[in-house]
Structure 1
Amino acid sequence: MDRTRLSKRMSRALRHDPARVGLVLDGAGWTPVEALCAALEVSVADVEDVVRHGSKQRFELADGRIRARYGHSLPGHITMPAGDPPPVLFHGTAAGTVEAILRDGLHPGGRQYVHLSPSEATARAVGARHGRPVVLVVDARAAAADGAVFRVGNDDTWLTDDLDPRYLRRA
């Protein structure tokens, strides 16, 4: 089994296009593991291996169900648990988008949530996927105090809705 290839197939099915393989996700993004395995023609052991050994903690298993933790491009919002964020979070982006973000704020774009990191290094790596990286510092404490809801994607990913530019600055 090619773990990377299966992880990508699972991501597409659970984050972007479940209907393509005949899956239905509930409001929190869950579907039965057996249904995913049947749709992708893989074993439960293979799926469990991807979940257990995936470097980015993209997936979650519970009670015979599976879901992607973050990165959804489906309409609406997959319900993720809210949490108290650290005082500061980081967002990595390409240099060409920084001025617009600092003027207009952060928006999910094609995703359901804005993705933030507790690590400046991780944010820099994310930004590098889109060109010359720039890291923005997010005043999560102030945003949360003003009513922004932060959700836990995994140990390296925090999720939120739109963020006003007053909570952002260059690293």
Structure 2
Amino acid sequence: MSEDELNSVGRILAGVLRHFPEKFDLDMDLNGWVDVRDVAEEICHRKRNLHWLRVHHIKAIADTDPKGRYQIEGNRIRASYGHSVDVELDHPTDSVPQSLFYPSTQEELDMLLDNGITPSDRRYVHLSLTYEDAYNAGVHRTEDPQILEIDAAAALMSDVYIGQAGPTVFVTRGVPPDFIEIAVEPEGFVQPDPPERLAPRRERISDMDD
């Protein structure tokens, strides 16, 4: 696959597995799984420029995705995180670290500290493994992300579900305020250059930014 073809297939996969399986007549189960053979067939049928796509291409994309956006089990595939459709994710909780991180805008900061973190346009809140990961996620929304630290260990002990969805991504239905505080910027942290354009979240709902 060329770089353009890879990006095209990746964006379609992100869209159909996270947001609109019905547009491709895909039968998604409660946990977000669909038959990868159906995915390949429907993409070929609807996208003439991708008529060559086969199951092994999709499996290769899933297996090599650096952010772990997809999971493959046999002939099933699902998005690991990022859903706007209602799914029940069942990611493992035994590898959750002591602390996780979440990016906020300056305007949202006090509200999140007072009321906790809840999903907005996605079904789950995405938490990051490190301060840097959270900051890099946050710069897609605001030029100066405010990073919150989540006491993940204490939250789990209080029956708050947190599952590992990718190498650096963890998901939860929400975080109560008791487990949230403003994170301390780590020594030596260097802020990355901001993106050229900060797109509103609704414009990026099927893209591959996260």
Which TM-score band applies after superposition, normalised by the shorter structure?
over 0.9
* Residue equivalent to 2:91: 81
Alignment partner, residue 107 of structure 1: 118
The alpha-carbon deviation at position 166 of structure 1 amounts to 1.4
* CA-to-aligned-CA distance 1:43-83 (integer Å, 9 cap, x gap): 113212211222211001111111111111013x3332241
C-alpha distance in 1 between matches for 2:26 and 2:162: 28
Q: Which structure has the bigger radius of gyration?
A: 2
- Distance in 2 (CA, whole Å) between partners of 1:4 and 1:52 is 15
Question: Structure 1 unaligned runs (5+)?
Answer: none
**Aligned partner of 1:135 among 140, 143, 147:** 147
Identify the range of structure 1 (106-115 vs 91-100) with the bigger mean alpha-carbon deviation: 91-100
Amino acid at match of 2:20: D
Following superposition of structure 1 onto structure 2, how do residues 20-169 of structure 1 map, counting pairs within 5 Å? 20-41=23-44, 42-75=53-86, 77-84=87-94, 85-131=96-142, 132-169=144-181
Residues in 1 aligned to 2:172 and 2:119: alpha-carbon distance in whole angstroms? 8
Q: Which moved more, 1:81-90 or 1:119-128?
A: 81-90
User: Number of aligned pairs?
Assistant: 170
**Helix, strand or coil for the counterpart of 1:95?**
coil
RMSD: 1.3
Where do 4+ consecutive residues of structure 1 move more than 3 Å? none
Gaps of 5+ in 2: 45-52, 184-210
Greater displacement, 44-53 / 12-21: 44-53
Distance 2:70 2:98 in 1: 26
TM-score (norm 2): 0.77
